[in-house]
Chain A
């Protein structure tokens, strides 16, 4: 049971990482890109726009967390 739990934690870390909002944002960005392409829009610009948004949100979350729990 412990081995299975450790394995699942490793897989979660590998697939989602340490910030689930980033993983959700990436999945949403890629899904929106696919939808735009399917409707005939040249959506090559979308993920480059998503990058600074996700990085900003992720950095903000880390800094806010460190403010609440200063080491």
Chain B
């Protein structure tokens, strides 16, 4: 029950974050180049992702569970630590927060200046390609998370449910507001996803290596809590480093020229 709830929550969060990013791209294309090429690109991107999930899903179920958990655990750790590192850097001020409104503005400016060329099947090649790439690239990571989480827990449909719920929720909100979802706490969500992916990666990767966790599946809760504490400590530490560095720079800037170190 614990693992199933975490499974749906993790897939939902990861998928919601990626959906928000894909929505920004599709909205920028739709409002500047027209909705037909944008929606054609979305449909083509979703079709490719569906083929990836349908082709790889049954193949993953055939692999022995320990080998699957070892490989998947390692890959989830690679993903999770990437998300976590960026989230820690953003939370501590070393990296500017992800801003959907400014990304949307950049996408709109680029779409306005691009020339229009019509294909045989698509109304506007530029609009189609940008929407297609946006959906496919943002969706590949989600497809991987859906497949690996689902295969590890023995329930790909449950993982797909979490992903579909997220896409429907983000699309519905995007359709209503007709603007990039700048108010979604995306940085906090990315922090949470980074913690979840890292915790699942440690849990499954270790199990795949032959470890028996004390307390069985309940240990996952402790690993999630531990990963969260490590990430929060990293944020606190980097904030202090940043404050000290800023103070040093202010002190250096205040010194007369020629006496600076």
Contact = CB atoms under 8 A, between A and B. Distances in A.
Contacts of B227: 51
B78 A23 contact: yes
A62 B85 contact: yes
Interface string A53-67: 011101100110010
A43 B212 CA distance: 9
B208 interface: yes
A10 interface: yes
B248 interface: no
B75 A56 contact: no
A48 B226 contact: yes
Interface in A15-56: 15-19, 22-23, 26-27, 30-31, 33-34, 37-38, 42-44, 46-48, 51-52, 54-56
B77 interface: yes
B70 interface: yes
Q: Chain A, interface size: which category?
A: 20 to 34
Interface residues of B, number: 40
A70 B84 CA distance: 22
Contact of B202 (A22, A23, A38, A51): A51
B198 interface: yes
Contact of A34 (B202, B209, B238): B209
A3 interface: no
Contacts of A56: 234
Nearest to B233: A52
B177 interface: no
A16 B78 contact: yes
Contacts of A16: 78
Contact of A55 (B70, B81, B144, B212): B81
A54 B75 CA distance: 14
Contacts of A1: none
Interface of A: 10, 14-19, 22-23, 26-27, 30-31, 33-34, 37-38, 42-44, 46-48, 51-52, 54-56, 58-59, 62-63, 66
Nearest 7 Cβ contacts at the A-B interface: A37-B210, A34-B209, A33-B209, A47-B202, A44-B211, A26-B77, A17-B82
Given A42-B212, A62-B94, 14 more contacts: A14-B75, A14-B141, A19-B82, A30-B208, A33-B211, A38-B210, A43-B206, A44-B211, A44-B214, A47-B77, A55-B234, A58-B81, A59-B88, A59-B234
28 contacts: A15-B78, A16-B78, A19-B81, A26-B74, A26-B205, A30-B205, A30-B206, A33-B205, A33-B211, A37-B209, A37-B210, A37-B211, A43-B206, A43-B209, A44-B213, A46-B206, A48-B202, A48-B226, A51-B227, A51-B230, A52-B230, A55-B81, A55-B84, A55-B234, A62-B94, A63-B238, A63-B241, A66-B94
